[in-house]
Structure 1
Amino acid sequence: MTQPAPLTPRSHQVRIWDLPTRLFHWLLACAIVALVITAKLGGNAMNWHLVLGQVVLALIIFRLLWGVVGGRWSRFAHFVHTPSALLRHLRGQGSVEEGAGHSPLGALSVFAMLLALVAQVATGLLSDDEIAFSGPLTRFASGDTVAAATNYHAHWGQYLIYALVGLHLLAILGYSLRRKGLARAMVTGDKQLPSPVPAARDTAATRALAAALAVLSSGIAWWVNSLGAGGGF
């Protein structure tokens, strides 16, 4: 188990990332790695690729919902920063609260990753390899749309995600070298901050709400996949 960083007289331990947000983060990371592996292996591994695509769709739906009703620092409203806040952050002059959750630059990377994943899943739903697999929404789209979606999903989309994941890992490394505790916070949920900020709600009630939203998200993902016989991502 990861041990919390020692507290100093001017250090405040604050719950920033609630458990549902942390579980989402690590499940998404594992799913993306598994999707890449199964896509490269091809053959029978594509059956798992299709299942994992459905998992990622459910995770994205959950995160969009949790971004509205989740813990304080997981809500989109609390990591949409102004251009002036971004400039302060780049100059190293940002406030503690502006960097407690997602920093202005980190928030941009989160939105970029979510948009890239939405595009990848959406094009997967519309993809057709003309051999064994077709997305469940292909029957609702024209041939040209399916061809464009397939090309994006198999090429540009995956390269964009590779680039964003690489930048994310570099950012984590940079924060770790500066002893910001970014990776530790996504495991324990807590950050050591120089001044107190409001903590995220992370109670039995909020976790029960998250579980209900996870079930709802899974149901929506299953329904989308059921729109096409033998469809996939």
Structure 2
Amino acid sequence: MTGIAARVAIWDLPIRLFHWLLVGLMAFSWWSGEEHELELHRTSGYFILALIVFRIFWGFAGTRTARFSTFVKGPASVAAYTRSLASRSGKPAGGHNPLGGWSVIAMLLAIGLMVAAGLFAVDVDGWESGPLADYISFDQGRAAADIHEVLFKIILALVALHVAAIAFYRIWKRQNLIGPMILGKGKSDIANSRVVIWKLLIGMLIAAATAYAVSTGFRF
């Protein structure tokens, strides 16, 4: 089907579930951390770790719009796309645009590093710690805790930019980015590819196994 007015599949169900589960778990992690519900905070972190591992896998083995090769572009493409933002015209990207693609990488990197720091973090009294804290010294564990907090603040800034970008596209470019991430369909001249079930199952297995192994401190 051709024509940018056509509504076609853009985001597959795994990507949409990843997106909204990550939003919910990040909010829950913030709440549990603020309320000092550290067992819940750790559990939420393991689920976030599983999501990040799955997203990395799906970035190589997933559908067309999920793959990094589709939306991670070089500086020239990013610069050209940035210049085009001044115009209200232009067809929908049908996935992540070159600028948005790098925002995805930045978000995955920041969240991944935050989770990794949390795995090694130790509280000021030394009573509560991540499952990998035994592999480093107390001082290193405290440094990991500080990094964990700093990265969360960086993530909040990235989230603010993400929300601002959604508002910009809705108001200036007249493009609805939220609807396709909920329903899966939107305006595009290229439809997304289909989910390959066996690849999805492998990705889920790798993600679950990684989170479980980390949660035990690699002690089986």
Q: Same fold (TM over 0.5)?
A: yes
For 1:80, give the aligned amino acid: V
The answer as to whether partners of 1:20 and 1:207 remain within 8 angstroms in 2 is no
The answer as to whether partners of 2:61 and 2:199 remain within 8 angstroms in 1 is no
For 2:176, give the aligned amino acid: G
Distance in 2 (alpha carbons) for counterparts of 1:95 and 1:141 = 52
Task: Name the SS of the counterpart of 2:52 in structure 1.
Answer: helix
| Residue in 2 that maps onto 1:109 | 103
Equivalences for residues 117-132 of structure 1 within 5 A = 117-129=111-123, 130-132=125-127
User: Which stretch of structure 1 is more off in the superposition, 88-97 or 213-222?
Assistant: 88-97
- Going from structure 1 to structure 2, the CA distance change for 1:10 and 1:47 (only over 3 Å counts) comes to closer
| Residue in 2 that maps onto 1:224 | 214
For 2:203, give the aligned amino acid: L
| Partner of residue 94 from structure 2, selected from 83, 100, 116 | 100
Computed over aligned residues only, the root mean square deviation of the Cα atoms, in angstroms, reads 2.1
- Which ranges of structure 2 fall in alignment gaps of 5 or more residues? none
Offset from partner CA, 1:165-221 (integer Å, 9 cap, x none): 11111111222223212100101112213xx22x22234xx2453244223311210
Distance in 2 (alpha carbons) for counterparts of 1:207 and 1:21 = 14
Distance in 1 (alpha carbons) for counterparts of 2:103 and 2:110 = 10
The answer as to whether partners of 2:110 and 2:155 remain within 8 angstroms in 1 is yes
Distance in 2 (alpha carbons) for counterparts of 1:167 and 1:215 = 32
Offset from partner CA, 1:36-65 (integer Å, 9 cap, x none): 1111111xx222111100000000000000
| Partner of residue 184 from structure 1, selected from 155, 174, 179 | 179
User: Which stretch of structure 1 is more off in the superposition, 73-82 or 168-177?
Assistant: 168-177
- Going from structure 1 to structure 2, the CA distance change for 1:145 and 1:31 (only over 3 Å counts) comes to same
Is 1:137 aligned to 2:132, yes or no? yes
Percent identical pairs in the alignment equals: 34
Distance in 1 (alpha carbons) for counterparts of 2:90 and 2:64 = 17
| Partner of residue 65 from structure 2, selected from 67, 73, 76 | 73
The answer as to whether partners of 2:122 and 2:138 remain within 8 angstroms in 1 is no
Distance in 1 (alpha carbons) for counterparts of 2:114 and 2:178 = 26
Task: Name the SS of the counterpart of 2:7 in structure 1.
Answer: strand
The answer as to whether partners of 1:176 and 1:183 remain within 8 angstroms in 2 is no
The answer as to whether partners of 2:42 and 2:130 remain within 8 angstroms in 1 is no
- Which ranges of structure 1 fall in alignment gaps of 5 or more residues? 1-8
Distance in 1 (alpha carbons) for counterparts of 2:174 and 2:180 = 12
Distance in 2 (alpha carbons) for counterparts of 1:145 and 1:56 = 23
The answer as to whether partners of 1:19 and 1:207 remain within 8 angstroms in 2 is no
For 1:126, give the aligned amino acid: F
Distance in 1 (alpha carbons) for counterparts of 2:90 and 2:77 = 9
The answer as to whether partners of 1:19 and 1:202 remain within 8 angstroms in 2 is no
- Going from structure 1 to structure 2, the CA distance change for 1:228 and 1:146 (only over 3 Å counts) comes to farther
Distance in 1 (alpha carbons) for counterparts of 2:166 and 2:197 = 27
Distance in 1 (alpha carbons) for counterparts of 2:107 and 2:130 = 22
* Count of equivalent residues: 212
Is 1:90 aligned to 2:101, yes or no? no
